[in-house]
Amino acid sequence: MNSLHTVLVNTHIAIGALALVLFWVPIVARKGSPLHARSGKLYATAMYIVTATAFVASIMVLIDPIGIRRPGLELDGEEAAELANVFRMFSLFLLMLSVLVFTSLRHGIRALRTRKTPDALKAPLHRAQILALGVLGTAVISIGLVEMQWLLIIFGGLSISGAIGMFRETLIASPSRRDALVAHLGGLIGSGIGAYTAFFAFGGSRFLRELLPGQWQALAWIIAPVAGTIAISRLSRRYRERAPARAADAE
């Protein structure tokens, strides 16, 4: 089990580093261009691998936190319970981020299909994924309140907010091209928020300890959500308020 967990983590880190770079290519590429489409597919493929490895690795730690994270460590009952609680708490957080990234990515990709398949966002399984994200967000907030972990409370709230936003988009009866673009951009940027949050919270934290010591390191955790939320808000406003209705509804 430990060997499998190690393989999953190493794969997650390697492909995740690639995905963090690939995220920006479709962002800066001309929309609708071959580069935009191809880089978007590569990013999606990389993120599917990243979320799958994170999901399985998190489940493994939730089931056996000490055996997976500290194999062979001898602790008394109280110490083991306390350490297991810490490992489970962060694994649940990572699990929620993996679901957030996967659901946002799938939502953004499926949104483009609404031009040919208007009910693409209304599929029961897709809605179930969004609801699962909301449930996980609620669980993380609850644990954050009990343990007084503000980051869990904040990110649990962001997950619930994202789930509500995506679910509302599934309720649009006849999505226009503008609606599809807003959902597409929101979903893809949302996946980037989750990816960069995980990076700063885990792998990137090692590089930020000297720059942001102690509690100040928590600032790094909120960089991606704040920047991503602003970007989604501005892009949504741009497409909903400034884009001509004729161009928005054109095929």
* Reported confidence tier of residue 163, pLDDT bands at 50, 70, 90: very high
Burial of 118 (0-12, 13-18, 19+ CB in 10 A): middle
Contact in structure between 108 and 183 (CB atoms under 8 Å): yes
Q: Residues 170-213: pLDDT tens digits?
A: 998 888 888 888 888 888 888 888 788 777 766 655 555 555 55
Q: Residues 43-96: pLDDT tens digits?
A: 999 999 999 999 999 999 999 888 888 777 676 777 778 888 888 888 888 898
Q: For the residues 156-161, what does the mean pLDDT come to?
A: 89
Q: Residues 14-27: pLDDT tens digits?
A: 998 899 888 888 88
Determine which of 136-145, 213-222, 240-249 has the lowest per-residue pLDDT on average: 240-249
Q: For the residues 124-128, what does the mean pLDDT come to?
A: 93
Domain ranges within the chain, ordered by starting residue = 2-248
pLDDT of residue 36: 86
- Per-residue b/e over 7-20, b at no fewer than 16 CB within 10 Å? ebbebbeebbeebb
pLDDT of residue 246: 41
Residue among 187, 175, 178 nearest 120 (CA): 175
Q: What is the CA radius of gyration of the chain?
A: 19
What separation in angstroms does the CA of 52 have from each of 8, 30, 47, 95, 202? 9, 29, 8, 10, 17
Mean pLDDT rounded to a whole number for the chain: 81
pLDDT of residue 231: 65
Q: Which residues contact 127 (CB under 8 A, 6 or more apart)?
A: 167, 170
* Reported confidence tier of residue 233, pLDDT bands at 50, 70, 90: low
Q: Which residues contact 236 (CB under 8 A, 6 or more apart)?
A: 182, 185, 186
Q: For the residues 107-128, what does the mean pLDDT come to?
A: 87
Instruction: For the chain, give the percent of residues with pLDDT over 70.
Output: 78
pLDDT over 90 (residue 167): yes
pLDDT over 50 (residue 245): no
Residue among 42, 46, 197, 191 nearest 106 (CA): 191
Residue 61 has which token pair?
A: 């730690």
Q: Which residues contact 131 (CB under 8 A, 6 or more apart)?
A: 163, 167
